[in-house]
Structure 1
């Protein structure tokens, strides 16, 4: 049984599982029931069902497991994958619903967070009722439901971000950031397993695929890019970011050169949209900083200082160092660099987020597909997971690029760190697991219950 106390600000009705205003009457009274039903828009939600799913541990996966499982794709393996997704998604969603239920009442009733709560509960209710997948036709129906949910949840990131910013004075910023990191990491985990299954299904149904054929020689196993070239990722993202800078600042703007040095043959297994999102955000920040600094200097006789990307391949890791001379980060902003909820630009970020209704977070949303040169790579027919924020103009700053990039980097047990020298520039260090044998990093149980 979970706690019905809501940080002294509200109560939860045991019968409905919805959040109700604090009252002096027991939860089982008609008055409390009426309040709870109004709070949940009249929807009766049996909390015992949620308790059952929260009690289940998530089953973490690694990139290597995804590759090994998908190498020999047969009908039985595809159906096994379908049933893993069918049971894993509601368990992981249930943990996050419980986290939201443990927030103070005044926070969870924020319209943006409440909208996310309802999206999550509707998805949980949908997936928990699905019957066992036994045939390919059953799997096709499951894939259709997964695709619909992926699309409907594209509003989650901006809605959460706006809700967190609006509730900045109602909770400790440390707790808000912990909540946001947990929600986002869990969101990535669900979309990884969902999109991997959609991709395997797409491969199995393709006209040229022979069931049981080995996929070990293919560039992709589902969503996993087996030999993700570090230099190729940098080159594709550099072209996209350069094109974006010119389209935003004018075709005559002097864009800094992006030099790549070090271990240029380094490769690793990874999900391409994840690494492109992170590198795209980091390069975009550096390019814009250098352009703005060069414009302030009003020096038309020389080119902007180049950005240098160093690739280092170690036994277990590949490390990217991105160095720019864009003037560094103001000291006043450094304490809030990794925060979703607090900072000197919070109000401006909130206004900008209102102009971004959907945020899937992939490089596919760049509107510069040609510059990415990805026509020879995998382009899914469904809406992929992490739509990139880099398609927005640089003046529409959301303050989410760095903290969101760190969440993505840490998801596969990597890391992202930054060192700034104010008045000179920034060095960013991105570390990626080279072997693909690290499990996804996620909170297996409702994180707020563990506090």
Structure 2
């Protein structure tokens, strides 16, 4: 954000060279991580495909010469764009590979590998998408070099005034629409009530926040509808509402999502935050097989939109662990409290980024992994 506040040709070219040198270095670290996996795991077809994608990306980026002109930058952007598109399938492929390798490697080691590779993937995509967005801004007809971007709503991909209430409402409407299609037009869906600090806003990358809140609301809506149906409640009676409370402090915004969807069954709890799902692996694998994003999916933006738009009956077992990776990446946190037989409270804590030096240091050390 600080870098993009006042954008000039020299700054854009400097950003391009950062992308050109940073991406292959980071990809090389991940290739090394994959090479350290047991041979039987890295030869899994899904993980092997991811390995090939990473290796090709590394090989492409290392050959790009120093960016000296705007024309050089445009060529770099084309490469970056095509890589982002080619790598849309990485998360589902990794998830399938990990589920297939559950018996071949210790679950803790597998989760550590997944967390590292996903966190690093976020950092690379943010670097790449931020540069593409800054390039788009620079070429926009309204833009004059050196203009202060902080007066606009976005600096690259960063939305400066992310209003928590608006995001919850937008995600809620999307989840209601998806559930209506899945359960039929006559289903009565729980109302999503929002209270607390309704004006709370902070800078954030919108697609990341929408993914996390979308996943939490999806879990709550589905659980509430299904418990309501199982209990044989009269069709015209609405299920209990989902209550979203927004709380703002100088450093954080906390969003609590409370439902009465029956809580999390005891046998699922140990696997809640894990990518390797124990007894449920077989069913989740079959579901993942039906949810493959194609490389023609949204070229800009992330594979998050592909994951978010899946039908509710297609449970992938990735929503919570992936949401936690995204929350923690931006110095936040995600936790759940389940009362079995009653419901779940999910707590998403968001750091107000850009006002804390120590957060940036933490981020730098996380990215260096």
TM-score, structure 1 as length reference: 0.78
User: Which residue does 1:337 correspond to in 2?
Assistant: 272
User: Which residue does 1:171 correspond to in 2?
Assistant: 105
User: Which residue does 1:416 correspond to in 2?
Assistant: 334
Change (3 A) 1:443 1:98: farther
2: CA distance, partners of 1:359 / 1:312 = 39
User: Which residue does 1:318 correspond to in 2?
Assistant: 253
CA contact (8 A) 2:273 2:321 kept: yes
Q: Deviations over 1:9-66 (max 9, x none)?
A: xxxxxxxxxxxxxxxxxxxxxxxxxxxxxxxxxxxxxxxxxxxxxxxxxxxxxxxxxx
User: Which of 311, 315, 318 is the aligned partner of 1:397?
Assistant: 315
CA contact (8 A) 1:151 1:383 kept: no
CA contact (8 A) 1:100 1:117 kept: yes
Superposed displacement of residue 445, structure 1: 5.2
2: CA distance, partners of 1:265 / 1:386 = 26
1: CA distance, partners of 2:89 / 2:306 = 14
Q: Which has the greater radius of gyration? A: 1
User: Which residue does 2:263 correspond to in 1?
Assistant: 328
Superposed displacement of residue 387, structure 1: 2.5
1:206 matched to 2:147? no
User: Which of 343, 352, 355 is the aligned partner of 2:287?
Assistant: 352
Give 3-state SS (helix, strand or coil) of 1:332's partner: coil
Query: CA-atom RMSD, angstroms?
Result: 1.6
User: Which residue does 1:303 correspond to in 2?
Assistant: 238
Superposed displacement of residue 392, structure 1: 1.3
Change (3 A) 1:180 1:435: closer
User: Which residue does 1:87 correspond to in 2?
Assistant: 21
Give 3-state SS (helix, strand or coil) of 1:207's partner: coil
User: Which residue does 1:372 correspond to in 2?
Assistant: none
CA contact (8 A) 2:182 2:313 kept: no
CA contact (8 A) 2:215 2:320 kept: yes
Structure with the largest fraction of helix: 2
Change (3 A) 1:383 1:351: same
Q: Deviations over 1:325-348 (max 9, x none)?
A: 000010010000011112321100
Unmatched 5+ residue regions in structure 2?
none
CA contact (8 A) 1:188 1:385 kept: no
User: Which residue does 1:216 correspond to in 2?
Assistant: 150
Unmatched 5+ residue regions in structure 1?
1-66, 366-380, 447-451
User: Which residue does 2:12 correspond to in 1?
Assistant: 78
Q: How many residues align?
A: 362
Q: Deviations over 1:335-393 (max 9, x none)?
A: 00011112321100011111122289xxx97xxxxxxxxxxxxxxx8344532523111
1: CA distance, partners of 2:143 / 2:308 = 35
Give 3-state SS (helix, strand or coil) of 1:243's partner: helix
Structure 1: which 4+ aligned runs deviate by more than 6 Å? Answer: none
TM-score, structure 2 as length reference: 0.95
CA contact (8 A) 1:200 1:222 kept: yes
2: CA distance, partners of 1:409 / 1:152 = 25
User: Which of 127, 133, 148 is the aligned partner of 2:61?
Assistant: 127
CA contact (8 A) 2:162 2:201 kept: yes
Superposed displacement of residue 441, structure 1: 6.8
CA contact (8 A) 2:263 2:339 kept: yes
CA contact (8 A) 1:79 1:139 kept: yes
Give 3-state SS (helix, strand or coil) of 1:432's partner: strand
Give 3-state SS (helix, strand or coil) of 1:155's partner: helix
CA contact (8 A) 1:410 1:441 kept: no
Superposed displacement of residue 251, structure 1: 1.1
Superposed displacement of residue 299, structure 1: 1.4
User: Which of 322, 344, 350 is the aligned partner of 1:432?
Assistant: 350
Q: Deviations over 1:300-343 (max 9, x none)?
A: 25210000000010121000000000000100100000111123
Q: Deviations over 1:399-451 (max 9, x none)?
A: 000000001001111100001001000000000001334333764456xxxxx
User: Which residue does 1:152 correspond to in 2?
Assistant: 86
2: CA distance, partners of 1:382 / 1:406 = 23
Q: Deviations over 1:106-141 (max 9, x none)?
A: 111111111111110110111111111000000000
Change (3 A) 1:117 1:443: farther
Q: Deviations over 1:132-154 (max 9, x none)?
A: 10000000000000000001111
